[in-house]
Chain A
């Protein structure tokens, strides 16, 4: 098992490096000069040049072959990419070009917000999705099955932003039960340990804060969870159905096992393999969908922040934010791979 884990780690590293490369490349490809954007159109050549020098924007992208031609090997390697990687290793993600706030600082605040939302949404999706799938599979072709499956399809077909807006319309505007946006009400304080409001409020026994944070998170989480919920339900169902056709299920019944034991012991463990994979992939959807949800619910997370950064040509923000998102996604899928080996002995003994 540990050999398997080590092999997986090695296999992930090139992907991680590839990701940093792509992120770096991308920003440089987008037209528009951030220095000009910062100083405005009327700035002088000089000041623009100085700013660019300051941010290292005047160095070549990857390798300086002019330096090489002059025999300067150190200068050869002094490029934007090398500087970027160097800083990355030291966890220095620079400062926002427009606001001059260190990226790392903003990340510390915004990242937990998105993570909290994403994980909570995933939690909802799993809690509802998997049992629905199991029940559907066990009652194939009955009305329960049809209703759940059509329900899931409808869920998968709904645009997140629209669902969010409908939720706001219903619960916040019309019924006034829940707040329309934000992460927490003005005036409520939660001591920040992890910056995950739900966790922190429980850790400090701040029940008022917990209630407030919960009220704020529930609508966006539901909106975000709808698509993964549908997909998980359908996947669970089809995986269960496939497994129930297998010979070993027949053997289990021949031994005298009852329906529920066959379902929950023999079938489920095998059926969960593809479902686990899907859960990992859906995490990516959640992180992505965060952009839209955060916009509608004014949720102070990374999604919206990165989006603004892309449009504002604010390189460090985009780099830092996307990097973190991509790494989380890779991390989740890595974890999924390990889970897979844990569940299926054929993988770990390979």
Chain B
């Protein structure tokens, strides 16, 4: 079965006055229809930029997609003209963003913004679109949906706004919904509600979801598969079980090890990965993680490890020494 989304060798660069920022470095992976993929990594690892590259929303200048192919349902998005891409955005692929307060236009009502999305891609009258918008708001769990269509974003609470954003994103029933850190700006209880909502919607509507986050706890509940990114590249990927239970990459181990656990000794130390992520203006020639890795060797400093499949699609790692590290446990 052909995958819904297939990315090959994606490279995105930012050409700034201080140099070239290598934000996305040779990223390749695929997603099936209806799959929930988690993209995990620390700030600045390229997870958001690569998603924006899929949507071709990277600020140009200074950003530019310099290489790669993005196949969505049979067409390479990177070869499309802007006019054609406009039709794809919001209709085949939708994206929702982190901060719902700033992501909704404060001077238009929520209803207007949803109706706008609907009428853009569908042949609907204003009345039909408004009805549908009301249905969508109800679908995402906003009480009194009909009346709330005429409210402005600042009249919604944070969680409500994010729900409204989700409603807007799903309005044209896209095949893929990209969610860029949708719960980071919300507090924990609301976070849980949103996660539940998305899971429910996915079950009902069946679209594929790419959930970008730095929060490993959130992603564990939802994702089918996970891509762990570091310095613009994927360093480990696979299904949820493998990633959490059979972690192979030292970075991922460090991330998971730094999570406090309820079943741990109260006095146990929280492990942290020492050092800082590399400067994307001057990436080292070898493995980008080598500087912080306790297992590094000369080879790690000299050559970049490729992302190797160690269990078909279910698990892949980009590390020269994963076997030895796994063996030593």
Contact = CB atoms under 8 A, between A and B. Distances in A.
B106 interface: yes
Contacts of A14: none
A270 interface: yes
A108 interface: no
What is the predominant secondary structure among interface residues of chain A facing chain B? helix
Contacts of B258: none
Interface stretch (A167-175, A177-185, A242-250, A282-290): A242-250
Interface residues of B, number: 29
A247 B99 contact: yes
A66 interface: no
Interface stretch (B4-12, B87-95, B213-221, B230-238): B87-95
Contacts of B116: 255, 257
* Interface core residue of B91, B103, B168 (most chain A CB under 10 Å): B103
Contacts of A269: 107-108
A270 B105 contact: yes
Interface stretch (A97-105, A209-217, A297-305, A339-347): A339-347
B272 interface: no
A11 interface: no
A110 to B, nearest CB: 41
Contacts of B222: none
A147 to B, nearest CB: 20
B102 interface: yes
A269 B108 CA distance: 9
Given A251-B103, A255-B116, A346 B88 contact: no
A252 to B, nearest CB: 7
Contacts of B88: 256
Contacts of B89: 253-256
A254 B55 contact: yes
Nearest to A269: B107
A143 interface: no
A248 B108 CA distance: 11
Interface string B149-173: 0001011000000000100100000
Residue with the highest number of chain B CB atoms closer than 10 Å, among A254, A343, A349: A254
A256 B105 CA distance: 15
Interface string B71-84: 00000000000000
Contacts of A247: 97, 99, 102-103
A44 B227 CA distance: 102
Interface in B102-151: 102-108, 116-117, 120-121
Interface of B: 55, 57, 86-91, 94-97, 99, 102-108, 116-117, 120-121, 152, 154-155, 165, 168
Given A256-B117, A270-B107, 12 more contacts: A248-B106, A250-B57, A254-B57, A254-B94, A255-B89, A255-B94, A255-B116, A255-B117, A256-B87, A269-B107, A345-B106, A346-B154
